[in-house]
Amino acid sequence: MLGIVGTIPEANFPLFSGRVSLEGNDILIGNERINVNRGTPAMIAAAIETLKYMDKPEPYCYLVGDIGDGEGSMHLYRHLIDNIADTSFHSLAFHYFQPIVSLFKKVTAAIEEMPNRPILIADAGFMYVAKMGGDAPFFDLFTPDAGELAYLADENAPHPFYTRGFILHEENLVLDLIKRAYQHNNASSYLLVKGAKDYVADKNGVISVIDDPIVETLEPIGGTGDTLTGIVSALIASGIEIKTASANAALVNRLAGFYAEPTPATQINEIIKQIPRALHEVFGN
Partner 1 sequence: MFKLFTKKKPEHNSENQGRGILVFENTTEVIRAENALKARGWEIRVMGPPPNIRSGCDLVIEFPLIEELSIRRSLTEVNIEPIQIVPVNSVLLEPVSLLHEKDYGKYLMVRAANMKITVERDTKLIVNVSGGGCPDVPYLAGQMVNKHLHNAPQPRDVGYTLCAYALQIAYDRMVEIC
Chain positions contacting partner 1, by CB under 8 A = 7, 9-10, 37-41, 66-70, 72-73, 96-102, 123-129, 132, 145, 147-148, 151, 156-165, 168-170, 216-217, 219-225, 263-267
Nearer to partner 1, 16 or 53 (CB): 16
Nearer to partner 1, 227 or 274 (CB): 227
**Least separation, in Å, of the C-beta of 30 and partner 1?**
19
Nearer to partner 1, 41 or 118 (CB): 41
Q: What is the DSSP letter of 133?
A: T
**Least separation, in Å, of the C-beta of 237 and partner 1?**
21
**Least separation, in Å, of the C-beta of 240 and partner 1?**
25
> CB 24: neighbour CB atoms within 10 A?
11
**Distance set, CA 33 to CA 116, 234, 275 (Å):** 33, 22, 21
d(CA 199, CA 178): 10
**Least separation, in Å, of the C-beta of 280 and partner 1?**
27
**Least separation, in Å, of the C-beta of 96 and partner 1?**
5
Nearer to partner 1, 7 or 238 (CB): 7
d(CA 250, CA 240): 14
d(CA 38, CA 226): 7
**Least separation, in Å, of the C-beta of 9 and partner 1?**
4
Give the three-state DSSP class for 8.
Answer: strand
Nearer to partner 1, 160 or 230 (CB): 160
d(CA 130, CA 148): 13
Give the three-state DSSP class for 232.
Answer: helix
**Least separation, in Å, of the C-beta of 101 and partner 1?**
5
Strand partners, 200: 192, 208
d(CA 161, CA 175): 21
Nearer to partner 1, 24 or 68 (CB): 68
Q: What is the DSSP letter of 85?
A: G
Contact 212, 26 (CB under 8 A): no
Nearest CA to 238 out of 119, 80, 141, 138 is that of 119
Nearer to partner 1, 13 or 199 (CB): 13
